[in-house]
């Protein structure tokens, strides 16, 4: 989603940091992002202490993706439509 917003260069973490600096996403979204990334990353390593993902992990990832999409795309679109309606009066 960040690439769609022209955050193309660098690693995922550097794009997240740049988006935060630019106030595209909030610190709370960054914390949630890192939590999702770390959870997914842990499961990619061969560590017997790490629990395998469960249905709730998938649901949490989907909830995050939908929330981020709404924050980055849906809400700004609604605001712009509201501004356009107000400008036409």
Label residue 19 by pLDDT band (50, 70, 90): very high
Distance CA 16, CA 85 (A): 33
Backbone angle region of 6, left / alpha / beta, with phi > 0 → left and psi within -120 to 50 → alpha: left
Segment 36-64, tens digit of pLDDT? 887 777 666 656 677 777 899 889 999 99
Q: What is the mean pLDDT of the chain?
A: 88
Q: Which of 2, 4, 54, 8 is nearest to 33 (CA)?
A: 2
Stretch 18-27: mean pLDDT: 96
In this prediction, residue 86 has a pLDDT band, given cuts at 50, 70 and 90, of confident
pLDDT, residue 77, reads: 94
- Model pTM score: 0.77
Q: Which tops the pLDDT comparison, 39 or 1?
A: 1
Domain-by-domain residue ranges, the chain?
3-87
């Amino acid at each position: 989603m960040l690439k769609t917003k022209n955050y193309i260069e660098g690693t995922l973490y550097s794009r997240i940091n740049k988006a935060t600096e630019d106030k595209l996403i909030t610190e709370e979204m960054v914390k949630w992002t890192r939590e999702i990334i770390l959870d997914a990353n842990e499961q990619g390593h061969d560590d017997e202490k790490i629990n395998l993902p469960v249905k709730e992990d998938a649901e949490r990832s989907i909830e995050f993706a939908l929330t981020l999409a709404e924050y980055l795309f849906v809400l700004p679109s609604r605001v712009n439509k509201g501004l356009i309606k107000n400008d036409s009066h």
